[in-house]
Chain A
Amino acid sequence: MKKTLWFILPIIAVGLAWEVVSRSGIVNPSLFPPVSKVFLALWEMVNSGIIITDVGNSLWRLLLGLFFGSVIGIVLGLITGRVKKVSSLLVPIIQALRPLPPVAIIPLVIVWLGIDNTAKIFSIAFAVFFPVWINTYIGAQQIPQTFLWSAKLLTTSTLKVFYRVIFPATLPFAIAGIRSAIAVSYIMVFVSELAGASSGLGYRIAIAQSSYRIDEMIAALIVLGILGALTDYLFVLSTKKMFPYLALRSQ
């Protein structure tokens, strides 16, 4: 109860301050509409169903991109982290691509793949791959030697060592990578929807800007922010459910 209060209080305080500042005449209310007007706009968008469709479209693009980018990042991270030959082959290439700002590839992706969903999912997956890969790669190199020795003494199956020892030993690193990738994926879904889309939160904000609906822009931004925080929260929650020992270790 007390915790909920401490969570809600600052939000109410910020909302009140916002309302007062906006209505006081210090700022231009058409540029900085009061929070009540923003929520009214949000309510209209929810009622008409527009925002629901936008959220749905943005979310599934984001989740698919996040999924593919993470899976490829983890698999390559484990292999480059543990197999020297593969690592000397692939790491220089990955490292050369990694410093690119991922949004910079969007124009090229549009030329190659068009502006449909494949292009957006590809752009998101591309951006997600790097933080997941680098974390997994570093984690896989830092597995305590005794884990690997114990495994080697108890089993002859390399595959078993990979999925029963190397993967779980690296998992906390991969999870950290995915968590930073979640933030990146929101950037990517937003930018890729700005640059050619007919639905999604990014598209909605672009449309609202061109029709000077600042209340709608802010409403869509609030939704975007809540979604981002929620995605991270749900991700952490589900990893604790799926891998209960992780929660134990952090106690």
Chain B
Amino acid sequence: MKQIEVKKLSVSYGNFGVLCDIDFTVEKGEFIVIVGKSGSGKTTFLHALADLIPFSGEIDIPENKGVVFQHYAVFPWLTVSENIAFGLDRYSEEKQREVTSEHLRIAQLEGKDDSYPAELSGGQVQRVALARSLAHSPELLLMDEPYGSLDAYTRDQMQEWLLGVWSEHKKTIVFVTHSIEEAIFLADRILVLSNKHFIEELKVPFGRPRKEEIKFTPEFNQLRKNIFESIS
């Protein structure tokens, strides 16, 4: 079943075209990763999908979507649990508490309810950001380089955690990154964005669940080399 369908999407800032005539479809439950160099328009593409910026063309996407941004995703003036509960107005207070503590568990932040984001590590903050989006029970998640500012080790841990959450919740995910390694480890399908449109599409041959070790296999390296060459 199709969850996102994009036809002839173009975005420009003034006279400068960033994206041009993009067609794009995503199946329900798929994990899509978009890779590209800095400035290739990955973030712009995601913002257009989330209906945050003006675009031309057609985007058919569920109304209820969660977005995780690279920076400033989490409100620093709210505690962890207040952040997670931010989008839960429609529930009763009791239900809000229930959903919040459930998502504290998902984010592996039990006991940190009353901490402020400034008291957490970078990885923990990004888990709050994802938990807040998930608590809103979106049909799909759009993630914009969420791990761009984390160190390599934390990044690896976050990738495994994200795959765990994804397989448990069966959400469709569109994930943007400049890291080819991250793309291969996470994705069902990788799209390479360059020169205003997708220049390549690859299915990732690795099964699930995926473990860290696949990053050290020759197949993984070969795939990484192929993508690297098509980007540059």
Contacts and interface: CB of A to CB of B under 8 A. Distances in A.
Contacts of A144: 71-72
Given A153-B50, A155-B87, A251 B77 contact: no
B73 A245 contact: no
B75 A168 contact: yes
**Residue picked from B50, B52, B71, B117, most chain A C-beta under 10 Å:** B52
A121 B42 CA distance: 55
A220 interface: no
A154 B64 CA distance: 9
B136 A154 contact: yes
A248 B71 contact: no
Contacts of B52: 149, 152
A153 B66 contact: yes
Interface in A201-251: 243-245, 248-249, 251
B76 A245 contact: yes
A146 B69 contact: yes
Nearest to A143: B72
Contacts of B76: 245, 248-249
A147 B78 CA distance: 12
Contacts of B50: 149, 153
B227 interface: no
Contact of A245 (B69, B71, B77, B136): B77
A172 to B, nearest CB: 10
A48 interface: no
Contact of B69 (A149, A154, A168): A149
Contacts of B87: 153-155
B132 interface: yes
Interface string B14-35: 0000000000000000000000
B124 to A, nearest CB: 14
Interface in B93-123: 116-119
Interface residues of B, number: 23
A165 B73 contact: no
B89 A155 contact: yes
Given A153-B65, A153-B66, A248-B119, A146 B89 contact: no
**Residue picked from A147, A150, A151, A249, most chain B C-beta under 10 Å:** A150
A146 B72 contact: yes
A19 to B, nearest CB: 48
B67 interface: yes
Interface in B58-92: 65-67, 69-73, 75-78, 86-87, 89
B86 A155 contact: yes
Contacts of B116: 244-245, 248
A157 B89 CA distance: 9
Contacts of B69: 146, 149-150
A171 B117 CA distance: 17
A174 B212 CA distance: 48
Contact of A168 (B67, B71, B77, B117): B77
Contacts of A37: none
Contacts of B75: 147, 150, 164-165, 168-169
Contact of A249 (B65, B86, B89, B118): B118
Contacts of A169: 75, 77
Given A146-B72, A154-B136, A169-B75, 4 more contacts: A155-B86, A245-B76, A245-B77, A245-B118
Interface of A: 144, 146-147, 149-155, 157, 160, 164-165, 168-169, 171, 243-245, 248-249, 251
13 contacts: A154-B136, A155-B87, A155-B89, A160-B89, A165-B75, A169-B75, A243-B77, A245-B77, A245-B116, A245-B118, A248-B76, A248-B119, A249-B118
Interface of B: 50, 52, 65-67, 69-73, 75-78, 86-87, 89, 116-119, 132, 136
5 tightest CB-CB pairs across the interface, nearest first? A154-B87, A168-B77, A248-B118, A146-B69, A146-B72
